[in-house]
Structure formats: structure tokens, C-alpha cells
Structure 1
Amino acid sequence: MRYALVVLGGPYSQAATHSALRFGEALIAQGHRLETVFFYHDGVYNASRLAAPPQDEPHLVDAWVRLANDQGTELLVCVAAALRRGLLDEREAQRHGKPAFSVEPPFVLAGIGQLVEAGITHDRLVTFAP
């Protein structure tokens, strides 16, 4: 089956992110495809290239990046929610005259329409909320 996940919680403030990541890994282990993860509300903080958790905690941003690189999973970040929270990719940083960008590739800024499309085109859409 083809799955899409929606992550609404920040990476270290609730269990939503960690649960979504473990769920995605379990799907893959069972032979399913995790094709898309859409980060919305505070979930956009999962895309921050500036995250530097203590060494004794999991580095959730790096874990999502590994998942994307290993499985080809799309990591989509709601552009409106990200911009409100100071998360910009290189293009948006230039467009807004900011000196740097903070979204870690392969995370990609996307519109809410791409979430709707994932709900239509995937077999399952599972939401992880705080």
C-alpha cells in the first residue's frame, strides 16, 4: 500500500513526530511504501536545518532526511506555516531579502493542495497530532 503521513507536532515538544517516524519505518519494514510526509502547523519545525539536539536524544531531522534519501519519500513542508515560523528555503529567503535559509534539503516547501493531492492519490493518509 502507498501511505502518506501528516505530522502536526514539533519534533521535541510532543510525541507526534517520533511516533510518525516510527510508524513510517514500520510500514516500510512490512513492505509498504511511505511516499509522502506532509509537515503542517508546528510540524514544520521538523525541517529546520538548525536543529542541534543533545547527543543522547534522537536527531529527528536527520532521521527524516535518511528516510527520504533511502526510500525516496517526499518531505513536504506547508509553505504558509513555515514562513510564519521563520523557516525558509533558499528561494524564499532570497525572495524575502533574508540573509540565510533554514529548511534542510530534501524537505521542500509545498502548498496545502499537495496535501489534498496526497489524500486522493495514496491508499492511506495517517495524521499524527499532538
Structure 2
Amino acid sequence: MKFAIALFAPPHAPSSRRALRFAEACLAGGHEIVRLFFYQDGVHSASVNVVAPQDEPNLSAEWSDFVRKHKLDGVVCIAAALRRGVLNQEEARRYERPAANLAEGWELSGLGQLHEAAQMADRLVSFGGN
């Protein structure tokens, strides 16, 4: 089965951990993830600047490792990312910011990518949000 996964919650939220474990279980079960799409506060999970307390898992780093390890299509909503200060090199230059903080393996793109993922997948599963 083909899954698209959307994450709306920040990396410290329980739904972020559940989403990651669900994604891991999908691949372990022989399923395919056509796209991960991070929206709203979920975009923080794609930042290299998130620092988790020592007694908590670093879900931002775990998400980035997961995307790189499995060569997944990890998409971060550009509008939500810009609003929350998650920038790639191009956007940091465009808006004259001193640094980029989008983790390796992720790409900034529009909400149309979520729509496309829903069309490509058998199931769209979302985690978090209001």
C-alpha cells in the first residue's frame, strides 16, 4: 500500500513521535511512503536548530535521519516554513537572513505537493493539527 503522511504538530508533540513510528512501521511492513509533508508547526521537525532536552528524544533529528536513510520525498510547506523561520539557502538569501536551517533531505515546496501526494497514495494519514 502507498501512504502519504502529513504532520501538523511540532517535534515535541506526542503526535510527531506517533507519526514517525507509523512511518517506520509502514516501511517495515513492506509499504511505500510516497511523500512526507510537514505543515503548520510540523515544519519545525525539518529544522537543524531544534534542541531537545537531554531526557527527551530528538525527534527533529530522528525525522531527518529517517528521510535521508530511506531516501524519502520529504516536503516542508514553504509558506508555513517561512512564517516560522525555517529556511533553505535560497530563501535565506532572498529574505536576507544570516543562515539557513532546513535539514538535509528536506525540500521547501507549496501546498500543492500535499494534494499531489493524496492523489498518488492509497491513504493519506495526518498527525497533529488543530
Normalized against structure 1, the TM-score is what?
0.94
Equivalent position amino acid for 2:11 in 1: P
Task: Tell me the residue number matched to 1:109.
Answer: 108
Which residue is equivalent to 1:121? 120
1:42: how far off?
A: 0.6
SS in 2 for 1:86: coil
Structure 2: tracts of 5 or more residues without a match: none
Output aligned runs, 1:1-130, within 5 Å: 1-12=1-12, 14-130=13-129
Gaps of 5+ in 1: none
Runs of 4+ in 1 over 4 A off after TM superposition: none
Q: Aligned partners of 1:40, 1:27: CA distance in 2, in Å?
A: 21
RMSD: 1.1
Query: In the aligned structure 2, how far is the partner of 1:121 from the partner of 1:17?
Result: 23
Measure the CA separation in 2 of the matches of 1:61 and 1:90: 19
Contact residue 7 and residue 126 of structure 2 kept, 8 A: yes
1:84 maps to a residue whose letter is R
Q: Cα deviation per residue 1:20-47 (whole Å; 9 max; x = unaligned)?
A: 0000011111111123110001111111
Q: State the shift of 1:66 in Å.
A: 1.8
Q: CA deviation at 1:73?
A: 1.2
- The whole-number CA distance in structure 2 between the counterparts of 1:69 and 1:48 is 14
Aligned partners of 2:68, 2:87: CA distance in 1, in Å?
21
Q: Secondary structure at the match of 2:82?
A: helix
How big is the shift at 1:56? 2.4
Aligned-pair identity in percent equals 42
Cα drift, residue 85 of structure 1: 0.8
- Count of aligned positions: 129
Distance in structure 1 (CA, Å) of the matches to 2:61 and 2:49: 11
Q: Distance in 2 between matches of 1:85 and 1:54?
A: 21
